[in-house]
Amino acid sequence: MSAKTSRRQLLSALAAGSAGLALGACKPKEQTAASPSHQKTVHWKMVTAWPRDFPGLGEGANFLAEAINAMSGGRLKVTVYGGNELVPPFEVFDAVSNGTAQMGHAAAYYWKGKVPEAQFFGAVPFGMNAQETNAWLYEGGGLDLWQELYAPFNLVPFPAGQTGVQMGGWFNREIHSIEDIRGLVMRIPGLGGEVLKRAGGSPKSLPGAELFTALQTGNIDATEWVGSYNDLAFGLYQAAKYYYYPGWHEPTACLECLVNKKAFEALPQDLQAVVRHATRATNAQLLDNLTARNKSALDTLIHQHQVQLRRLPDDVLAEFKKHAQAVIAELGASSPMAQRIYTSYRDFAQQVNGWMRISEQAYFQARDLST
């Protein structure tokens, strides 16, 4: 639905309302019958890539369902399923595509084997942060490209949860230099995994629920997950002591709400608007939730669980950055669609960075000056 169409409908609805007022209470029954509250209730299933009610991510899925239920006045009821309750975490894309569920909550980089270009919408190593990514998606043409990319799969994607800058991850040994990355087996999905591979590491992609056991049993030497709030909830400190920052690989992860295209188009336009605005509210809610909780979770990790907080060495970050630029450019050259997305992302990042340097970045530096 275009903004023009929705505005026209709004105006005609207002005009109809005015006419009704002008006629007094002549036809109250007809107006009531036409009101949205008398339309039939639609029931949707939302499958997710997270454990049910999981802090942060699962809470985001719950927030989205509750927002849709509330904003639609109960006309669109969404039931949330945790990972493996209806389908496994990594089958969310297919389940929504084929209509097993009408809606999903996951992350775009999980589908890189099927849609490599989707990685641009999940997380880009050394790429834009949450504020910049949102600006690209909503105001810079990013979301239009994302929806075009998923249309052949009978899916409509929406941004539905920015994580902000993540943590670098949990390591069972200290990282002193790039030499310590060689041979490191690490759970790290998406483009970050490819970067690690080029630096000599061995990336694995595992659903969140499998991380703890894999790290504890030594199947992996390291794992990233999200930030302190999510990581504390998984108990990863019991399996590895060294906790590294910053999350170079995910300067933000943009979670996605997948909607079955046929189911979406079958909704009346006001319910389509509800879904669209509820996802946008969820996109903000997750970032607020994690920003509010990460620091106290970090304090708990350090002071109650004796976690060793470390910054990744500069030479490690510099080598990761060099590989990241190559990996992203190669992905951008992999198909005509990838080229369009890459060009849009790169050009937007360049122009917005020019602003961010003299606004947010300069402000953080000014705020940190000693007085």
Identity of the residue, 49 or 86, whose beta carbon is nearer to Ca ion in the bound complex: 49
194 or 224: CB nearest Ca ion: 224
Q: Using CB under 5 A, which of the segments 24-32, 128-136, 221-229, 352-360 binds Ca ion?
A: 221-229
How many Cβ atoms sit within 10 Å of the Cβ of residue 60? Answer: 27
By CB under 5 A, the residues from 248 to 307 that bind Ca ion are 250
Select from 225, 226, 223 the least CA-distant residue to 290: 226
By CB under 5 A, the residues from 165 to 184 that bind Ca ion are: 166
Site for Ca ion in 97-136 (CB under 5 A): none
Residue type, 169: G
Q: Which is nearer to Ca ion, 232 or 271 (CB)?
A: 232
Nearer to Ca ion, 260 or 282 (CB): 282
Task: Give least dist CB 87 to Ca ion, A.
Answer: 21
Shortest spacing between CB 246 and Ca ion, in angstroms: 12
Stretch that binds Ca ion, among 10-18, 143-151, 198-206, 223-231 (CB under 5 A): 223-231
Nearest distance in Å: CB 225, Ca ion: 6
Note whether 104 and 96 are within 8 A (CB): yes
Three-state SS string over 259-325 comes to EEHHHHHHCCHHHHHHHHHHHHHHHHHHHHHHHHHHHHHHHHHHHCCCCEEEECCHHHHHHHHHHHH
Taking the complex as a whole, how short is the minimal distance between the CB of residue 185 and Ca ion, in angstroms? 17
Q: How many residues form the binding site for Ca ion (CB under 5 A)?
A: 3
Chain CA centroid to CA 283, Å: 8
- Which long-range contacts (C-beta less than 8 Å, at least 24 apart) are formed by 171-174? 171/221, 171/222, 171/240, 171/242, 171/243, 171/244, 172/215, 172/218, 172/221, 172/222, 172/239, 172/240, 172/241, 172/242, 173/221, 173/242, 174/242, 174/310
Among the residue ranges 73-81, 162-170, 258-266, 319-327, the one whose residues contact Ca ion (CB under 5 A): 162-170
Site for Ca ion in 40-59 (CB under 5 A): none
Task: Pick the closer one to Ca ion by CB: 267 or 316.
Answer: 316
Which region among 107-115, 246-254, 306-314, 319-327 touches Ca ion (by CB under 5 A)?
246-254
Beta-strand pair 76-81/155-162 = unpaired
Binding site for Ca ion (CB under 5 A): 166, 224, 250
